[in-house]
């Protein structure tokens, strides 16, 4: 099977000076894309900046015969990153929102600054770049956007309140943009990767890290970014060559009579039933899948709780 290519496509990868973003940039460039390698060149916690990170990746791409340009802006200046792409290559087809920092601390010890900085890089950064690229994508009736969430964002994690909040928010942003972008052929999907990088090298054993190459995330990102990929609004966990899709699951729940008899005690009496995933379950995919009108009608037929 011939591999998917990106000839003529312009791809912005944020935070592409190392780790996953570097792997994506090399992957796209090797398949014909023109890549904007954005990286502020900061430390893991967001400290400092350096042009070297992006430059090294651009050099590697060019030495291999590919096309790339470096961009050193903070993702908070997403409009400038998009300007770099347009100035160098005339368009933007794909945005991979990947830049990130960590400030792992328990909620008790976290500072307001930690909270703001983490939310800013992950959430505001993705918002600013996507917001600047959006009108171009709408006009050309083509765009592919990848949001980078995390298992911490899906499930929560000790010491990662700020990071998890940002990463869950990116799922909501991605899902909403998938709906708004659909009629313009703008597809938006969210990944939750696991890979060896400076983010994970201190928290995982070496033998596991060896199996978690960033190169094993890139094929999924490239597939989602391809012009013939119809998928939008997905949440995918990916690592070490395993890709899984995730969706919401609801219980059948309990319909209470909505009157004075709907008390905390009534909820208590049937709370196990409310939370019973062993019985009938639902898989709502959109806001409209919750049949509130039907449930209100059904509640009317019930006796007191
Ligand atoms: P990394 O630290 O190697 O890469 C992040 C890059 O973002 C760095 O090169 C950094 O300089 C850049 N960056 C930071 N702040 C920036 C800013 N304001 N503007 C522009 N660039 C900035 O980490 P990674 O592991 O490659 O992570 C990539 C993405 O994947 C992140 O969003 C991260 O949260 C997410 N992620 C990674 C893992 C993992 O297992 N590595 C797990 C879940 C999610």
**Identified catalytic residue from 163, 184, 223, 283:** 163
Q: What is the mean pLDDT of residues 170-192?
A: 98
Which stretches within the chain are classed as H helix?
19-30, 52-63, 78-89, 112-119, 125-140, 151-155, 161-181, 206-211, 218-225, 264-269, 271-274, 292-300
Distance from C-alpha of 280 to C-alpha of 273, rounded to nearest angstrom:
11
Give the number of residues written for the chain.
305
Q: What is the mean pLDDT of residues 102-111?
A: 97
CA-194 nearest atom, ligand 1: 40
Q: 291: which residues sit within 8 A by CB, 6+ positions away?
A: none
- 163 is known as an active-site residue: yes
Distance between Cα 127 and ligand 1 center (Å):
16
pLDDT bucket at 184, cuts 50 / 70 / 90:
very high
Distance between Cα 204 and ligand 1 center (Å):
17
pLDDT bucket at 202, cuts 50 / 70 / 90:
confident
pLDDT at 118: 98
CA-43 nearest atom, ligand 1: 11
pLDDT bucket at 1, cuts 50 / 70 / 90:
low
Distance from C-alpha of 149 to C-alpha of 215, rounded to nearest angstrom:
18
**Ligand 1, residues 51, 70, 197: which to mutate, most atoms within 8 A of Cβ?**
197
pLDDT tens-place string over residues 269-296? 999 999 999 999 999 999 999 888 888 8
CA-74 nearest atom, ligand 1: 19
Q: What is the mean pLDDT of residues 197-210?
A: 89
Average pLDDT, the chain: 96
pLDDT tens-place string over residues 79-94? 999 999 999 999 999 9
Distance between Cα 236 and ligand 1 center (Å):
18
Residue nearest to atom 43 of ligand 1 (CA): 150
Is ipTM beyond 0.95? yes
Q: Is the pLDDT of residue 2 over 70?
A: no
pLDDT tens-place string over residues 7-62? 999 999 999 999 999 999 999 999 999 999 999 999 899 999 888 999 999 999 99
Distance from C-alpha of 70 to C-alpha of 259, rounded to nearest angstrom:
63
pLDDT at 172: 98
Distance from C-alpha of 247 to C-alpha of 284, rounded to nearest angstrom:
8
pLDDT at 203: 85
Distance from C-alpha of 302 to C-alpha of 305, rounded to nearest angstrom:
8
Residue nearest to atom 26 of ligand 1 (CA): 19
Extract the tokens encoding 213: 């190459």
Residue nearest to atom 8 of ligand 1 (CA): 15
pLDDT at 254: 95
Distance between Cα 98 and ligand 1 center (Å):
6
Q: Is the pLDDT of residue 109 over 90?
A: yes
Read off φ and ψ for residue 289, nearest 5 degrees: -70, -15
- Asked if residues 67 and 56 have their Cβ atoms less than 8 Å apart, the reply is no
**Ligand 1, residues 20, 101, 117, 156: which to mutate, most atoms within 8 A of Cβ?**
20
Do the strands 143-148 and 281-282 form a parallel or antiparallel pair, or are they unpaired? unpaired
């Amino acid at each position: 099977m011939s591999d998917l290519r990106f000839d003529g496509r312009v791809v912005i990868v944020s935070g592409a000076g190392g780790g996953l973003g570097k792997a994506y940039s090399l992957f796209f460039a090797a398949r014909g894309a023109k890549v904007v390698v954005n990286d502020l060149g900061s430390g893991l916690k967001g400290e400092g900046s350096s042009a070297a990170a992006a430059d090294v990746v651009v050099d590697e791409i060019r030495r291999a015969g590919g096309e790339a340009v470096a961009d050193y802006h903070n993702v908070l200046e997403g409009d400038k990153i998009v300007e770099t792409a347009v100035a160098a290559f005339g368009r933007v087809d794909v945005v991979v929102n990947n830049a990130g920092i960590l400030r792992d601390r328990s909620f008790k010890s976290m500072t307001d600054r930690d909270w703001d900085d983490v939310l800013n890089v992950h959430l505001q950064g993705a918002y600013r770049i996507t917001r600047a690229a959006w009108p171009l994508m709408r006009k050309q009736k083509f765009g592919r956007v990848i949001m980078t969430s995390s298992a911490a964002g899906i499930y929560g994690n000790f010491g990662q309140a700020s990071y998890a909040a940002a990463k869950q928010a990116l799922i909501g942003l991605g899902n909403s943009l998938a709906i708004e972008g659909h009629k313009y052929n703008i597809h938006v999907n969210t990944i939750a990767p696991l890979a060896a990088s400076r983010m994970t090298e201190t928290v995982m054993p070496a033998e596991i890290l060896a199996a978690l190459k960033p190169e094993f995330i890139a094929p999924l990102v490239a597939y989602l970014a391809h012009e013939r990929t119809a998928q939008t609004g997905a949440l995918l966990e990916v690592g070490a060559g395993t890709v899984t899709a995730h969706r919401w699951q609801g219980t059948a729940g309990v319909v209470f009579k909505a009157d004075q008899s709907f008390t905390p005690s009534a909820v208590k009496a049937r709370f196990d039933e409310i939370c019973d995933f062993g019985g009938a379950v639902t898989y709502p995919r959109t806001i409209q899948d919750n049949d509130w009108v039907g449930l209100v009608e059904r509640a009317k037929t019930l006796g007191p709780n």
